[in-house]
A and B are shown apart, each in its own frame.
Chain A
Amino acid sequence: MSTTKPRRGEKPAGSATADDTATRSPVGPQPAPKILKKALGEVDSRFGLAGYLKRSMNKVFPDHWSFMLGEIALYSFIVLLLSGTFLTFFFRPGTNTVVYPTTGNYVPLRGLPMTEAFESTLRISFDVRGGLLIRQIHHWAALLFMAAIVAHCCRIFFTGAFRKPREANWLIGVGLITLGLLEGFAGYSLPDDLLSGTGLRIAYGIIESIPIVGTYLGSFVFGGQFPGPDFIPRLFTIHILLVPGILLALITAHLLLMWYQKHTQWPAEHRTNDNVVGAPFYPAFMAKTGGFFFAVFAVTAGLSALVQINPVWLYGPYNPAQVGAGSQPDFYIGWLEGTLRLMPNLETHIDGHTISWNVLIPAVVIPGVLFTAMAIYPFLEAWVTRDYATHNICDRPRNRPGRTALGVAVLTELGVCLLAGGNDVLAEKYDISLYATTWTFRAMFFILPPLAFMATRRICLGLQYRDAHSAQHGYETGRIVMLANGEFIEVEAALPEDAIARMGLEYRQGPPPALEPPVDEHGVRSKSRHNPIEKVRGRIGAFLYEPDVEPLTDGHGKGHASNGHADAELPAAEQTELTSGEGHTD
């Protein structure tokens, strides 16, 4: 379709590529329509927003796919709110017994007594048009929410985006993870089916194991002994009111902080610690993120159309004397299930009391340690590396071998626990002896994370070396050239500036700062060298952050005498010609 007159907003034909240097925008200033100015005026005179709007619309957001993982979580949350509201119009959180009608749509449960909660879930699934779809959307969105949070948390961790000034956002994030876990557990326990009811029984058992207060806490939370007539209604309140409210507040704070502090960005050309390069909020970023919301919603709907999730009718109504083989919680609880299964049966009996280490350690202590460690990590890392500066550039994971290796080790541990949580399913599907799986995972619990740590650190250092080498020597073009003296060399071309900038060579970890001498020139003992806390700080630093390879600040870590590459020993003229890839000279 050819156009003879320029479309609205475009320059006249012939100047399609011309920019407008006066305003730097390819489009140029436009006269604003009167009605827009009037509307803006009405808003501005009441709220004073015009200046803020202008600044916000011009706000720059960096472009990278890994920055959108948090958005998956955010938009999943919106989908959860929408679908959840629909469900609350039909769900009845009652533990009173009702009978599924003998003419009910789901034949295998006709005439059976069940709680009202379960019966209303059946009605949503089998009687309300679109009810099953919305229920499935809700559960798939919950899984996507938790998965995206984990992926996003990993991205933040591995790129060091939790450092100053973003520690508070990290803490909010840790809060969001724990609340999300609780919310998901509460959510899938609401229908009161046999699978989730078993999970609630386990939860009561875990609470009971807490010393001194366990039985009281269990009785107060559940309203008495298990199952407790008030528990499902309380779970309902927690799931639709309390936790979503707190989540909404935390997510808002999370986003506001990110908005105000501006997003981090990867190292590249033009990008410094003091600027942000990317696309403006309006219209580009708004459109990208808005489109992504529809994408998240579409993927959730697609999964709900095609793949069944949480088919509570197959599990049947909860009955404390019944249980199904291969009972599994959702994956974000699955790692806790794994720790419970792997723990040996340790219990101590002191003075007429029991301390159940077999439940306490895997279900209370380990998650407590994990979430506490996550919460304090930014402060711990800053203390060990003595790095209190503001960081707005993302670290490439390879440039921080210690942190990356630590993260991979923790993820490996969580992965082992997650698989261990499904060991009976694995044993059944793959014909492995059940006890063998338990023992294998017990061994892997201790062996794999250190191995993963060491391997990851090595890989990071190797990648660092390769980056520095490429930056210094260029990349191999594959063209072989014979020099005048008969020597064959491979032509190497220098990397483009942008590629070198993206390596972020100036952001590598390097060794920790030099320590004070133990005794200074006046014979005075150094306080920090002899302070036990400082000693610990130094030890952790050495363990995690000091690579045992000399840091490659200029790319000459290792000798390269006879590997046939063009290097500084050649005459400058030849070298220039060769590195420009033009061919050889003699």
Chain B
Amino acid sequence: MSTSHEPRRSRRRRRLAGYAVIAVALLGVGTAYGFATERPGVAEAGNPNQEVLQGKALYLQGCSSCHGLAAEGGADAPSLIGVGAAAVDFQVSTGRMPLQQQEAEARPKPPRYTAAETAEIAAFVAALAPGPAVPGKDQYTPTDADMALGGNLFRTNCSSCHNFTGEGGALAYGRSAPAMKNATDLQIYEAMLTGPGTMPVFGDRQLTPDQKKDIISYVQGMKAEPDPGGFNLGRSGAIAEGLVAWLAGIGVLAGVAMWIGARARRAR
């Protein structure tokens, strides 16, 4: 807005001054806002209260819209009071929670929260009411576990949903038992302990921690176990085998038969 008779330098200065005022104002308001709101940060080690508070903040931000402000649950989500830290750790670390959309069941996806943040939310939920805690490393790591026994337990309790080696299976009402290919030892333990979604609960008095270790050893062991017969077709069974027999077997042999019976090439 400089008048035409003002020298050029002072015209520029006035314009610049306008920009400077706006920039300062923005910075100032933003900084003030930043200080005004509570920012969740990394909890200081050894300060459980701080962890619970951080967790509560995260919870209010990302979970309360479905699970309620006091974790009491709602029409779309169950109550979290008493589910325990283990349930939260499982759901959040597998990325099932927060839900992307309301559908028949929560899908595993890349987790949204870091491990520390997950621990904070879990601490918050655990503080609401007593529930299964996150197991310690020696509890879920299957060293010295009996893989064969674990297999037997798996086949009695788990394979009717998850398939013989944990490849997953279909359930009713749009649900499914997922494949175990990305599951960690801890996640398998927590799933058995807390019974996520429609999965039944296998508490420690029903499947003892040792038995759980055996099962984990079986599941993880089977993932690593090589297939001695060749390509395993997804370990999915006779349907894939039948398809291969028809397409590769009969297909190739019909092709050979066509070669045998083909019209001979005439000279010239």
Using a CB–CB cutoff of 8 Å, the interface residues on chain A facing chain B are: 63-69, 71-72, 100, 107-112, 125-126, 132, 136, 140, 143-144, 147-148, 151, 194-195, 288, 291-292, 295-296, 299-300, 303-311, 314-316, 319, 321-331, 334, 422, 424-425, 427-429, 431, 433-435
Contact = CB atoms under 8 A, between A and B. Distances in A.
B136 interface: no
A110 B152 CA distance: 11
Contacts of B104: 433
Interface stretch (B11-19, B43-51, B60-68, B238-246): B238-246
B170 A307 contact: no
Contacts of A316: 151-152, 155, 164
A107 B232 CA distance: 18
B34 interface: no
B168 A296 contact: no
A344 B175 CA distance: 22
Nearest to A104: B148
A428 B168 contact: yes
Contacts of B238: 310, 328-331, 334
A76 B110 CA distance: 49
A433 B174 contact: yes
B contact face: mostly helix, strand, loop, or mixed: helix
Given A108-B218, A326-B169, A148 B237 contact: no
B239 A328 contact: yes
A485 B193 CA distance: 92
B167 to A, nearest CB: 7
A300 B261 CA distance: 21
A331 B237 CA distance: 10
B198 interface: no
14 contacts: A108-B222, A109-B148, A110-B147, A148-B253, A195-B237, A305-B230, A307-B231, A308-B229, A311-B235, A314-B222, A323-B160, A324-B163, A425-B236, A434-B170
Nearest to A316: B155
Contacts of A331: 238-239, 241-243, 245-246
Contacts of A64: 261
Interface string B144-168: 0011110110011001111111011
Contacts of A305: 230
Interface string B230-265: 111101111101111110111011101110111000
A314 B166 CA distance: 10
Interface of B: 104, 146-149, 151-152, 155-156, 159-165, 167-174, 176-177, 218, 221-222, 225, 227-233, 235-239, 241-246, 248-250, 252-254, 256-258, 260-262
B252 A324 contact: no
B57 to A, nearest CB: 35
A136 B229 contact: yes
Contact of A194 (B164, B174, B243): B164
Most buried by B among A140, A311, A429, A431: A311
A531 B254 CA distance: 48
B142 to A, nearest CB: 13
B261 A144 contact: no
Contacts of A292: 256-257, 260
Contacts of B231: 306-308
A309 B260 CA distance: 29
B155 A303 contact: no
Contact of A108 (B148, B172, B176, B260): B148
A296 B253 CA distance: 7
Contacts of A425: 170, 236-237, 239
Given A303-B248, A305-B230, A433-B173, A327 B237 contact: yes
Given A140-B249, A143-B241, A299-B253, A323 B228 contact: no
A65 B249 contact: no
Contacts of A108: 147-148, 151, 218, 221-222, 225
B147 A325 contact: no
Nearest to A110: B148
Nearest to A139: B241
B249 A143 contact: yes
B242 A330 contact: yes
B152 A321 contact: no
A288 B151 contact: no
A324 B155 contact: yes
B237 A328 contact: yes
A295 B161 contact: no
B156 A326 contact: no
B257 A69 contact: yes
Contacts of A334: 238-239, 242
A295 B253 contact: yes
B219 to A, nearest CB: 11
B168 A314 contact: no
B148 A111 contact: yes
Given A322-B159, A324-B155, A309 B229 contact: yes
Given A112-B148, A126-B228, A194 B245 contact: no
Nearest to B244: A307
Contacts of B225: 107-108
Contacts of B221: 107-108
A267 B155 CA distance: 58
Given A68-B261, A434-B171, A143 B228 contact: no
Contact of B155 (A69, A71, A311, A319): A319
A328 B239 CA distance: 7
Contact of B250 (A72, A307, A427): A72
A67 B160 CA distance: 45
Contacts of A151: 250, 254
A296 B161 CA distance: 39
Given A107-B221, A314-B222, A307 B148 contact: no
Most buried by A among B161, B170, B221, B235: B170
B40 to A, nearest CB: 35
Nearest to A321: B156
A309 B148 contact: no
B232 A68 contact: no
Contacts of B147: 107-108, 110
Most buried by A among B229, B236, B250: B229
Nearest to B246: A147
Contacts of B245: 140, 143-144, 147, 303, 331
| Closest 8 A/B residue pairs (Cβ) | A325-B169, A331-B242, A308-B229, A143-B245, A427-B170, A65-B257, A68-B257, A324-B164
A499 to B, nearest CB: 12
A75 to B, nearest CB: 9
Contacts of B256: 292, 295, 299
Nearest to B239: A422
A414 B225 CA distance: 37
A554 B231 CA distance: 56
Contacts of A428: 168-170, 176
A307 B230 contact: yes
Contact of B242 (A112, A132, A143, A435): A143
Contacts of B244: 303, 307
Contacts of B243: 331
Contacts of A330: 238, 241-242
Contacts of B177: 325
B148 A434 contact: no
